[in-house]
Amino acid sequence: MAGGNERITKALKEVWRRAENSLCADCGKPDPDWASSTLGVFICLSCSGIHRNIPSISKVKSLKMDHWDDAQVQFLAKHGNAVTKAIYEAHIPIYYYQPTYSDCQVLREQWIRAKYERKEFTEPGKQLPYSDGVKEGILWKRGRDNGQFLPRKFLLSEREGCLKYFTKQDAKEPKINVKIDVINATFQPVKIGNPNGLQITYLKDNKTRNIFVYHESGKEVVDWFNAIRSVQFHYLKVAFPIASDNEIKNRLTRNFLKEGYMEKTGPKQREAFKKRWFTLDHRRLMYFKDPLDAFAKGEVFVGSRENGYSVQKGLPAGTQGNFSWHYGLTIVTPDREYLFTCETEADQLDWIAAFTSVIDQAMTPQEYAIEAYFKFKS
């Protein structure tokens, strides 16, 4: 009996060590140490918790702590991540957002349910709830002035290339009508205070406007997110006919590079430093009095190193403004220096890394146009 157990354990380790099984099948996290004995995939602890909530589809066990019998190990050996992905991920639309382990719970859960429970990607040409080119429904939207979440009707249209929302169900005219190519959407459960919280941003007169929404159903809010990506993708395919699918995919919704509190001073660098919430959205650094403000109090364009932009640790010698946080950093632009302080050294280093990742990238023609607008505005 002991010999049989040793043989099974050895066989399990051999399957586990295959290169295809070195990353979680669902989120890509390295070194997964759980597996589904009914699907044949190797997954991380976090994804195993989601699988455990779908017991009719997936039975999960620890590869280190649980007992595996011979039949289960043979099943894993016949399947594994590559074979199972070939079945359940065979026909994922190019625009569909495939979350990673750094993404929030609702995105990862709906990705796993879409694959294994709803089998959304197993057949070509399957009609999906986010692929129609139009989506209409109710989302709970945060009021700009009172902070209350109220139900609002939203309409997304590929034909019109826009997203609208209406303050009343029977309203003829929308409160906003936003072109799809200036929209970004990113999940913000912590900031919004709801596990299904979605932040929609758009440009109006080249300034960023925020809308905060959620839906009680995780599936519904993720369907809205992917519907926005679908409409954007098809719009950009027409607008940029020679661009590849992957180039267009990279221009769809994006997570912010970094968010958090810093202190800032004014252009004379003698004013007291004020605590503000900062959002770095690629080359736009925006600051807000409150993380849930609809409009930024100000925006800074962050260009490339070859165009005279840099980030430096610390503040210039002789900085006079009063500040309570002591981990400074300076953004140097061709026109002026922007001074910030962070609460901790870890925050300081994270912000410097984020700014450096932007500054090290060459600017696109569109970004030169944005830079010109910022210079004209100032």
pLDDT of residue 378: 60
Q: Tokens at residue 158, please?
A: 């590929």
Q: pTM (2 decimals)?
A: 0.91
CB burial string 88-121: b at 16+ within 10 A, e below: bbeebbebbbebeeeebbbbbbbbbbbbbeeebb
271 versus 62: which is more confidently predicted?
62
**Does residue 198 belong to any structural domain of this protein?**
yes
pLDDT of residue 2: 36
DSSP type of residue 307: G
pLDDT of residue 22: 94
For residue 3, is pLDDT > 60? no
Residues 90 and 174 in one domain: no
**Does residue 143 belong to any structural domain of this protein?**
yes
Into how many domains does the chain fold? Answer: 3
Residues 148 and 172 in one domain: yes
**Final residue of a domain: which of 180, 214, 249?**
249
Question: Measured on CA atoms in the order 354, 359, 363, 367, is the torsion positive or negative?
Answer: positive
pLDDT of residue 87: 96
Pairing of strands 327-332, 310-313: antiparallel
Residues 14 and 40 in one domain: yes
**Final residue of a domain: which of 208, 232, 249?**
249
pLDDT of residue 377: 67
Residues 313 and 207 in one domain: no
For residue 325, is pLDDT > 80? yes
Tell me the CATH number at 267.
Answer: 2.30.29.30
Lowest mean pLDDT of 131-140, 268-277, 337-346, name the range: 268-277
Band of pLDDT at residue 71, cut at 50, 70 and 90: very high
Phi, psi at 335, each rounded to 5°: -105, -30
pLDDT of residue 89: 97
Reported in sequence order, the residue ranges of 273-335 that DSSP labels E, i.e. its strands, are 274-281, 284-288, 298-301, 310-313, 327-332
For residue 245, is pLDDT > 70? yes
Lowest mean pLDDT of 18-27, 102-111, 165-174, 308-317, name the range: 165-174
Q: Tokens at residue 368, please?
A: 């030169």
**Does residue 72 belong to any structural domain of this protein?**
yes
Average pLDDT over residues 223-247: 93
**Final residue of a domain: which of 207, 231, 249?**
249
Residues 82 and 140 in one domain: no
In percent, the amount of the chain with pLDDT more than 70 equals 98
Question: Is the Cβ–Cβ distance between 258 and 280 less than 8 Å?
Answer: yes
For residue 1, is pLDDT > 70? no
Average pLDDT over residues 65-91: 93
Residues 232 and 266 in one domain: no
Report the distance separating Cα 23 and Cα 32, nearest Å.
Answer: 6
Report the distance separating Cα 14 and Cα 6, nearest Å.
Answer: 12
Residues 195 and 147 in one domain: yes
**Does residue 343 belong to any structural domain of this protein?**
yes
220: domain range?
134-249
pLDDT of residue 4: 52
What rounded mean pLDDT belongs to the chain? Answer: 91
Pairing of strands 149-157, 134-142: antiparallel
End-to-end alpha-carbon separation of the chain, Å?
79
Report the distance separating Cα 85 and Cα 115, nearest Å.
Answer: 9
Q: For residue 2, what are the CA distances in angstroms to 6, 7, 8?
A: 6, 9, 10
pLDDT of residue 232: 95
